[in-house]
Structure 1
Amino acid sequence: MNKLTSYTIKEIHKAYRDKLLTPTSFVDLCLQKAKQTSELNAFVTLTEDIAENHGIQSEKRFYIDKNSKPLDGITIGVKDNFCTNNVRTTCASEMLRDFVPTYDATVYSRLRESGACLVGKTNLDEFAMGAGTIDSIFGPTRNPWGYKRNDNSWRIAGGSSGGSAVAVSSGACVAALGSDTGGSTRNPAALCGIVGLKPTYGLVSRYGLIPLVNSMDVPGILTRNIDDAAKILNCIAGPDNLDSTTIKKKFKPVTMKEEFDLTHVRIGIPKEYHCEGMSPEVLDTWRFVTDLLENQKAVIKTVSLPNTSVSIAVYSILNQCEVTSNMARYDGLEYGLRTSEDYSTEELYASTRSQGFNNVVRSRIFSGNYFLLRQNYEKYFIKALQLRRLISDDFKKVFKGDGAVDILLTPTTLTDAPTFEEFSSKHNRDQCAFQDYCTQPANMAGIPALSIPIRLSKNKLPLSLQLMGPNLSEELLLNVAKKIETIVQFPSLESVNLN
C-alpha cells in the first residue's frame, strides 16, 4: 500500500493545505491502488471518470474558491446496494445486473455534498444475503490480509459488505459505505482489520438503500480509524424527509476528545457471549482489552442478556419473512431482469425469479413464505416478534436501572478470517448463524455498535472486538473506541506485509 493511501482524513487535508498533495493526484493514487489490487475483487464498478471529476471539483474549492468542504478530496467506495444516479446498482445479482437508478441514496448524496469523491461501487453477497462476500455474480471478494497471488488458500473478507471493507483495508479508498442488517458492516470490518460502525436505527437515512430487512437495515461506515468514522457519521446522519423511519430530532455532531477519561465509565461483559465455537485467541483478546480498560479506571461488570441464545433463530425467521416481502417486487414487469416476452404472466414471474435470484435468495424466499402461511403465522412470525421484544428489553435493562452499564464489550466474530474452502464448505444459513452470533442482537434492538481491530492472531490475521451502547450513544462508543485504538496501536496492513 502506498503510504499516502493509508493517511487519515485529517492528514490528507493537511497535505492538501501544505500543497504536498492535491485532490486530483490523491484520487489517481486510489484508482491506481484499486487496479493494482483488482484480484481482490473489491469493486463491481470502478467509476474512474466520476472520481476524477469529483477530484477536480474538490481541488477548485481548495485552491481557487478557498472554501473547502469536510470531505473534499476524500475517496469513498459505496456498497452496490445503494442507489447512485446514472451509475449501475446491481446488488451483485443477475436480477439487477443492468439496473441504473435515476436518483441517489441520501447517504451518498450527503457524502457528495461534503465533497467526497466516488471511486466505485463495491462487491457484496447477492442482495446482501451472506457473511462472506462469496455469493456474488461477479465472483468472491478476497481478504487482503495474508493474500498471495496464485495461492488458493486465501481468506474470506466477511460479509455482506466485504467489498467495502477490502477497498478501505487495501487503500483503494479512505472510507466506504456498507449496509448492516445482522452484522454486515462490523463482520467484514473485523476480518479485514478496520473500523466498522453501525449507527442507531433511524439515525442515518435508508432512502435509496435497496432493502433486505426494513426493520433492521442500517447504513454502515467503514474506515481505517475511529476519527474518520466519526467524521463520516457527522456528514451523513440526521433526519431525512424521504425516509419516514429516520429520527426526527436534529442530529448533534459527534465530538471526539483528544484525551478521554475512562474513570467511572461502566463497561458490561455479557456472559452469554462466551459461546460455543469461539476461538481461544478471541477469548484471550477479549480478556486483554477488559484488563486494559480496567487499568484505565473503567468500571467492569459482568452482565446478563438471557435471550441471546434465541437471537439467531429469531433473526433468521424475521429476516426471511421480510426478504419474502421485499423480493416480491422483482417480477420481470417493472424493472430488472425480464427473461422473455413469450411467456404467460405466471411463467414470466417464475422464469425471471428463477434466473434472477441465486439459491441463497430463493431459499430465503421459500422459507419466508412458509413462516407466513396462515397456519404458521402465529407459531413463527408472531412468536419471533415477541422474542425480539424480549431481546430488546435485555439491552434496555443492562443500560438502565440498578447495576446499569454505559456500554458493552464483546467479540465481533468468533474466529479470525476463515479460508474460502473452510467457509464455503458450510451452508450459507449456517455460516450466517455462526459468523453473526455476536453482531445481530444489536440489529434486533436497533442500538449502535462498532467493531475495532485489536491485534493479530497467530495466523497474522486481525482479531477485533465490538462495543455496543444504548440508542444515540455513538459519541461515547467512538470516544471509548478511540482510547482503545490509541493504546493497542493495531498495525497497518502495509506494515505487516513489509515484515
Structure 2
Amino acid sequence: MLSLTLREVISKLKDGSVSAAELCEKCIARAKKIKELNFIVTENFDQCRKESVQSARLWSEYVTGRHQEWRKFGGIPFAIKDNFCTKDIRTTCASKMLSNFVPPYTATVVQRLQDEGAVIIGKTNMDEFAMGSGSTDSIFGPVRNPWNYNFCQLQHTGGSEEQGGSADWHIAGGSSGGSAVAIATGTCFGAFGSDTGGSTRNPAAYCGVVGFKATYGRLSRHGLIPLVNSLDVPGILTRSVDDASLIFNAVAGHDVRDATSVTDPLEKFTLPDDISVKDLHIGIPKEYHAPGLSLCVLDAWRRAADMFENAGAKVTQVSLPHTQYSIICYGVLCCAEVASNMSRYDGIEYGHRANVQDSTEELYAVTRHEGFNNVVRGRILAGNFFLLRRNYDDYFIKAQKVRRLIAEDFRKVFEGGVDILLTPTTLTEAPTYSWFTKEDNRTRAEEQDVFTQPINMAGVPAITVPASLSPSGLPIGLQFVGPNFHDRQVLTVAKWFEQQTNFKQLDLNYLIDNS
C-alpha cells in the first residue's frame, strides 16, 4: 500500500478498497520504523489519526452513495517542510531561533491541501532556514538518504556517529531533504518543500523522487517563512509526475495575501496518458557540461537526449551564456535578502530570546548569536556588507543586472523555438556525509546547485524526474525546464519521459520490515 502513488491511493479510496484510517496507521508505523533517517522533526500523529478517521467515514458515505461530494485528498497523509507555517503545529525552520514557535495561521498552499482533506503527518527536517543543499545543518541533526542505507546500522551501534553510526551513509540533499525522504520511503503520498536555488529539485534527484518547481508566482508564498523573497517558490515532491500535477492543480492560483502571486487565472488540467513528443524541440545547454559533472550523470543525460530524438523530437544544442555567473550572482542576492529577512529575529516579539538585561543592543547581538548557526550568521554578515552604501552599486545592483541577463538567456532560447530544456539536476549522485561535510556549507551549495539556481533567477518552471541508477545503486535525476507559465507543458513532457524510463521507486517495505 505504501508504494502506491497518490493517484492510485485516491482511486482505491473512491472504490472503498482502502480505508483512510488504515492508510494513516500504516504511514505512521513506517515513520516510526525508520525514524533513524531523522526526516521528521515534529510529529503530528495524533491529529493525523483523528482526521483520517473522520475522512474514512466520509469516504464510506461516498462509496455507499449516501453522500455525493468527496474531498480529493481526504485522509491522505502529507508531509510539510518545517519552514511552512502550520497553525497549532510547531514550525522551527530547524533553528534554535524558532525552536518553540507555534504559528497562529497556516500557509496558503498547506491550507488549500487541507481544504481538500489532506492530513499532515509531520513537519520535515531541513537545513537551518533552508540555507544549504544537503539537509545537514539542522539543530535536529542531518537527514539520511534511504538509498543504500543499512537500517540495522544505527540500531547495532546505538545510533552513535562516534561508534560508526554515520559510516557510509549518503546525504538526502537539501534543503528539503526531509520531505524527499518522506516521499521516497512511503511515509506519505505528497510533500511540500521550498525551492530558492534548487532546494526541492536537488533532494528529489538524490532520493529518486519527483520534484516540481512551478513558475514564480503561481504558488502562494504566504506562510512560507522567507529566505530570498524574490526567488522562493513552494516546491512539490511526489512519487510520480501525475501526482505533482494533482497537487499543483489543487493549490495553485492567486492569493490576495501574497503580493507576488500572479493574477492570471489558472486553467485546471489533467495530464494525458497518451503523450507524443514528435516535433517537440528539446534544447541542450552547452554551458551545463560543467566541471565536476560525473560520468554516470552525463551518460543518463545523453541517453535521455537520444530517447527524445528517437521518438521524433528535435534535439539541438543551445547556449545560456550567462549561466557561468549565476552562482556568484545568486550568492550576492541571497545574502542581501537573507540579511534583510533575518533582521526580524531580534528576541523582542517572538522566537529565541537571550537572557540579557544590560541593553537592547546586547540583547539583539546575543540573541542572534545564540539563535543562528554559523551558516546563517555568515550569510547575514555577507549580506550586510553587500548592502553597505559604499558597496551597494558594486554588488547588489550589479547582481540584479546579471540576474536580468540570465533571465534574458532563457527568454531568447524559448523565443527561438525551443520548447523544453533538458539538463542534469545535480553534478553527481548523492555524496556521502563525510565527503559533503569536508567543505563548508556555502561551498557545497555552490557546487551542487549549478544546474538549478539559474532557473530560480529566471523564475521559469522546472521539474526533476528520476532517470536511472548509478553504478553504485543511487538515483540520478534529470531536469526539464520550460518557459514562464508553461507549467502544464513541463509536466506533460516529464510524464512522457517517466513513462519511457519506467523508473521503479525504491521499495523499502521488505528491508524496513525485516530490519
TM-score normalised by the chain length of structure 2:
0.94
- CA deviations 1:410-459 (Å, max 9, x no partner) are 00000000000000001111101011000010000000001000110011
Aligned-pair identity (%): 52
Q: CA deviation at 1:254?
A: 3.0
**Could you tell me which residue of structure 1 aligns to residue 10 of structure 2?**
13
Residue 321 of structure 2 aligns to a residue whose secondary structure is coil
Mapped pair 1:434 → 2:431: no
Q: Are the aligned partners of 1:54 and 1:118 in contact in 2 as well (CA < 8 Å)?
A: no
Query: Which of 425, 429, 436 does residue 438 from structure 2 map onto?
Result: 425
Paired AA for residue 3 in structure 2: S
Uncovered stretches (5+) of structure 1, i.e. residues with no partner: none
Q: Are the aligned partners of 1:145 and 1:461 in contact in 2 as well (CA < 8 Å)?
A: yes
Residue 408 of structure 1 aligns to a residue whose secondary structure is strand
Query: Which of 154, 164, 167 does residue 182 from structure 2 map onto?
Result: 167
More displaced, 231-240 or 336-345? 336-345
Query: Which of 457, 461, 466 does residue 470 from structure 2 map onto?
Result: 457
Q: CA deviation at 1:341?
A: 4.9
**Could you tell me which residue of structure 1 aligns to residue 168 of structure 2?**
153
**Equivalents in 1 of 2:326, 2:510: separation in Å?**
38
Matches within 5 A, 1:331-410: 331-401=346-416, 404-410=417-423
Cα 1:251–1:9 shift into 2, 3 Å: same
Paired AA for residue 449 in structure 1: A
Query: Which of 469, 476, 495 does residue 482 from structure 1 map onto?
Result: 495
Query: Which of 282, 290, 312 does residue 305 from structure 2 map onto?
Result: 290
Segments of 4+ in structure 1 off by > 3 A?
A: 495-498
**Could you tell me which residue of structure 2 aligns to residue 414 of structure 1?**
427
Query: Which of 225, 229, 252 does residue 237 from structure 1 map onto?
Result: 252
Paired AA for residue 185 in structure 1: T
**Could you tell me which residue of structure 2 aligns to residue 132 of structure 1?**
134
Mapped pair 1:225 → 2:227: no
**Equivalents in 2 of 1:105, 1:84: separation in Å?**
6
Cα 1:421–1:467 shift into 2, 3 Å: same
Query: Which of 310, 319, 322 does residue 334 from structure 2 map onto?
Result: 319
Q: Are the aligned partners of 1:58 and 1:68 in contact in 2 as well (CA < 8 Å)?
A: no
**Equivalents in 2 of 1:496, 1:182: separation in Å?**
33
- What's the Cα RMSD here? 1.3
**Could you tell me which residue of structure 2 aligns to residue 467 of structure 1?**
480
**Could you tell me which residue of structure 1 aligns to residue 115 of structure 2?**
113
**Equivalents in 1 of 2:7, 2:424: separation in Å?**
29
More displaced, 291-300 or 340-349? 340-349
- CA deviations 1:316-357 (Å, max 9, x no partner) are 000000000000000000100011252310010011000000
**Could you tell me which residue of structure 2 aligns to residue 25 of structure 1?**
22
**Equivalents in 2 of 1:460, 1:155: separation in Å?**
12
**Equivalents in 2 of 1:53, 1:185: separation in Å?**
30
Paired AA for residue 104 in structure 2: T
**Could you tell me which residue of structure 2 aligns to residue 55 of structure 1?**
52
Paired AA for residue 287 in structure 1: R
Mapped pair 1:443 → 2:443: no
Q: Are the aligned partners of 1:93 and 1:136 in contact in 2 as well (CA < 8 Å)?
A: yes
Q: CA deviation at 1:473?
A: 1.0
Q: Are the aligned partners of 1:227 and 1:256 in contact in 2 as well (CA < 8 Å)?
A: yes
Mapped pair 1:78 → 2:80: yes
More displaced, 475-484 or 183-192? 475-484
Q: Are the aligned partners of 1:194 and 1:223 in contact in 2 as well (CA < 8 Å)?
A: yes
Q: Are the aligned partners of 1:416 and 1:457 in contact in 2 as well (CA < 8 Å)?
A: yes
Mapped pair 1:214 → 2:211: no
Mapped pair 1:178 → 2:193: yes
- CA deviations 1:245-302 (Å, max 9, x no partner) are 1010111123201111101111100000000000011111000000001111111111
Mapped pair 1:37 → 2:39: no
**Equivalents in 2 of 1:73, 1:342: separation in Å?**
49
**Equivalents in 1 of 2:147, 2:227: separation in Å?**
29
Paired AA for residue 236 in structure 1: V
Q: Are the aligned partners of 2:197 and 2:456 in contact in 1 as well (CA < 8 Å)?
A: yes
**Equivalents in 1 of 2:109, 2:46: separation in Å?**
21
Q: Are the aligned partners of 2:107 and 2:222 in contact in 1 as well (CA < 8 Å)?
A: yes
Paired AA for residue 358 in structure 2: Y
Q: CA deviation at 1:15?
A: 2.1
